[in-house]
A and B are shown apart, each in its own frame.
Chain A
Amino acid sequence: MPVVMDADRVSRTLTRIAHEIVERNRGVDELALVGIRTRGVTLARRLAQRLVEITGESVPTGALDITLYRDDLMRSPVGPQPVIRRTEIPFSIDDRKILLVDDVLYTGRTIRAALDALIDFGRPKAIQLVVLVDRGHRELPIKADYVGKNLPTSLKESVQVRLHEADGVDEVVVEEHQP
């Protein structure tokens, strides 16, 4: 179970991404962060904190649950439905640049669902994608704008992002998939 990012590494990576966001957008005017439940929300909050430290300005932050937009929801006639969590976007996304935040970018299907969900909230000026880990194996034409770490993996592996708020520790580990 190799640890590919430890707490220090996660922290430095988020600081670097925050600087990249400020540089690329020439400040944080018009920006808003939207994290994908669950780990993406935690990461979005941490990025918001860093953006305040860097620029002194606060960036509105929201949470998005994409369950109802999944493309595999009703594919199986049998089986329980995934639990839905609350979406909270307490600001208008119209004409803002939205930073969509998730922990791991894999097939791209979660991001596709998130884009559809976001657009039901309004018409943002732009959407930029932030991920802590890009593990490859895309099934849709989706690319991240800010990547914490590119991590080549095999399909047999799974990437676990653990964050202090939910898991008590900050780390990214690669595990063999349990069949």
Chain B
Amino acid sequence: MSANRLTSPPGGTDTMGAKPTGAEPTDVVARTLRHKDLLGIADLTPEEILLILDTAEAMKEIGFRPIKKVPTLRGKTIVNLFFEASTRTRTSFEIAEKRLSADTLNIAASTSSIQKGETLADTALNLEAMAPDMIVLRHSASGSCHMLSRICRAGIINAGDGMHEHPTQALLDAFTIRERKGRLRGLKVAIIGDLLHSRVLRSNLLLLTKLGADVWVSGPPTLMPPGIDRLGVTATTSVDEATEGADVVMLLRVQLERMQGAFFPSLREYFSVFGMTEARVRRANPDVIIMHPGPMNRGVEIASEVADGPYSVILEQVANGVAVRMAVLYLLAGGAEHEAAA
């Protein structure tokens, strides 16, 4: 059986797929992503996650070409709707969209009618009237992407919703780990920092446990969500214990802007008890990689020497983000039928 036939659009004329060249041995199973939206890692199967990572590998090569652009999403309109500050994620999505030849427009909360009191739903419906194909949304309210997906025909990509999920960050983290380590299964991954407010943590926990990593989390007890150990991870307040023999150490930003009240005495004290220092890195595996989703607070969750150290892959994460987002955009553009919401 030909994999070409299984993966080409059903009912189409299939003029190019008609060349039945047969399947590569690894492609016996049809690999597809049948979703209109990417709202969270929670909705993805392990096979779908691996398909996104494999597609991202092919996308990464485009960034090394003299002409870093392919015509794939020509004529598609993508709106980047950002209600929260973002440099990396918004830029990364925009570059990914442009490399796939989509038409993009950026709407930031500070320069739009949201300032005048328009609700998210009204903003979305007004955008929808201009028929975009996809909306990339970042919003401070958890679940905002789910709401948008119910009222919009356009595909919704979650670029971070409140304290809920940030799926493309988890995908690019997994991509970076797999590229460095060759696998995810069985790796000890220590995630350290502000666990309570982190959507990056939630998406990463879901993804890493789905793909069989041994995940440890650590941070101040006041910033540890109750019942986190029920998510299939080991929780400890000892950073040293979490770091011991780790293959991957991922630091999370202390999100002062989301903190109402005192979760720890001072930033200096946080650094001395939970900050990732060179001394702590030495407890990990010799070939450990250090990750941070950014933006970093140097001298709070991570020491400067560690952020700039030879084991740091923080800038690789940023580079890989573009390839991973290209993969998501490509796969969703041909995903499940975009049905009008009731």
Contact assessment for B9 and A76 in the assembled complex, using a CB-CB cutoff below 8 Å: yes
Tell me whether A75 and B9 are in contact in the complex, defined as CB-CB below 8 angstroms, given that A84-B330, A122-B66 are known contacts: yes
Find the B residue at minimum CB distance from A161: B21
How far apart are the CA atoms of A106 and B57 in the complex, in Å? 29
The contact of B15 among A83, A88, A122, A139, by CB within 8 Å, is A139
Find the B residue at minimum CB distance from A85: B58
Contact assessment for B12 and A104 in the assembled complex, using a CB-CB cutoff below 8 Å: no
Scoring B residues 60 to 78 as 1 if CB is less than 8 Å from chain A, else 0, what string do you get? Answer: 0110011101111101100
How far apart are the CA atoms of A39 and B71 in the complex, in Å? 24
Tell me whether A83 and B3 are in contact in the complex, defined as CB-CB below 8 angstroms, given that A120-B65, A121-B65 are known contacts: yes
Which stretch of B27-35, B141-149, B286-294 is in the interface? B27-35
How far apart are the CA atoms of A60 and B62 in the complex, in Å? 20
How far apart are the CA atoms of A87 and B70 in the complex, in Å? 12
Contact assessment for B34 and A80 in the assembled complex, using a CB-CB cutoff below 8 Å: yes
How far apart are the CA atoms of A162 and B16 in the complex, in Å? 18
Tell me whether A83 and B9 are in contact in the complex, defined as CB-CB below 8 angstroms, given that A38-B24, A78-B337, A161-B21 are known contacts: no
Contact assessment for B16 and A110 in the assembled complex, using a CB-CB cutoff below 8 Å: yes
Q: Which residues of B contact A72 (CB under 8 A)?
A: 8-9, 12-17
Q: Does A8 contact B (CB under 8 A)?
A: no
Scoring A residues 157 to 168 as 1 if CB is less than 8 Å from chain B, else 0, what string do you get? Answer: 011111000110
Contact assessment for B15 and A120 in the assembled complex, using a CB-CB cutoff below 8 Å: no
Q: B75 to chain A: closest CB distance in Å?
A: 8
Contact assessment for A160 and B57 in the assembled complex, using a CB-CB cutoff below 8 Å: no
Contact assessment for A80 and B33 in the assembled complex, using a CB-CB cutoff below 8 Å: yes
How far apart are the CA atoms of A82 and B21 in the complex, in Å? 14
The contact of A87 among B25, B32, B61, B338, by CB within 8 Å, is B61
Contact assessment for B12 and A79 in the assembled complex, using a CB-CB cutoff below 8 Å: yes
Tell me whether A107 and B21 are in contact in the complex, defined as CB-CB below 8 angstroms, given that A83-B55, A120-B65 are known contacts: no
How far apart are the CA atoms of A139 and B21 in the complex, in Å? 19
Contact assessment for B66 and A121 in the assembled complex, using a CB-CB cutoff below 8 Å: yes
The contact of A120 among B20, B55, B57, B70, by CB within 8 Å, is B70
A: contact size bracket: 35 or more
Tell me whether A103 and B15 are in contact in the complex, defined as CB-CB below 8 angstroms, given that A76-B9, A83-B55, A85-B58 are known contacts: no
Tell me whether A104 and B21 are in contact in the complex, defined as CB-CB below 8 angstroms, given that A81-B333, A120-B65, A121-B66 are known contacts: yes
Contact assessment for B8 and A160 in the assembled complex, using a CB-CB cutoff below 8 Å: no
Q: Does A116 contact B (CB under 8 A)?
A: yes
Contact assessment for A80 and B7 in the assembled complex, using a CB-CB cutoff below 8 Å: yes
Q: B19 to chain A: closest CB distance in Å?
A: 5
Find the B residue at minimum CB distance from A88: B61
The contact of A81 among B7, B17, B25, B62, by CB within 8 Å, is B7
Contact assessment for B334 and A68 in the assembled complex, using a CB-CB cutoff below 8 Å: no
How far apart are the CA atoms of A84 and B11 in the complex, in Å? 21
How far apart are the CA atoms of A110 and B4 in the complex, in Å? 13
Find the B residue at minimum CB distance from A175: B20
How far apart are the CA atoms of A99 and B151 in the complex, in Å? 51
Q: Which residues of A contact B49 (CB under 8 A)?
A: none
Find the A residue at minimum CB distance from B11: A76
Q: Does A113 contact B (CB under 8 A)?
A: yes
How far apart are the CA atoms of A107 and B30 in the complex, in Å? 25
Contact assessment for A79 and B31 in the assembled complex, using a CB-CB cutoff below 8 Å: no
Q: Which residues of A contact B47 (CB under 8 A)?
A: none
Contact assessment for B19 and A104 in the assembled complex, using a CB-CB cutoff below 8 Å: yes
Q: Does B22 contact A (CB under 8 A)?
A: yes
Q: Does B18 contact A (CB under 8 A)?
A: yes
Contact assessment for A81 and B16 in the assembled complex, using a CB-CB cutoff below 8 Å: no
Other contacts beyond A83-B27, A159-B19: 16, CB < 8 A: A38-B21, A38-B24, A68-B70, A77-B337, A78-B10, A79-B10, A80-B9, A81-B32, A83-B3, A83-B51, A85-B58, A106-B19, A107-B18, A116-B71, A120-B69, A121-B67
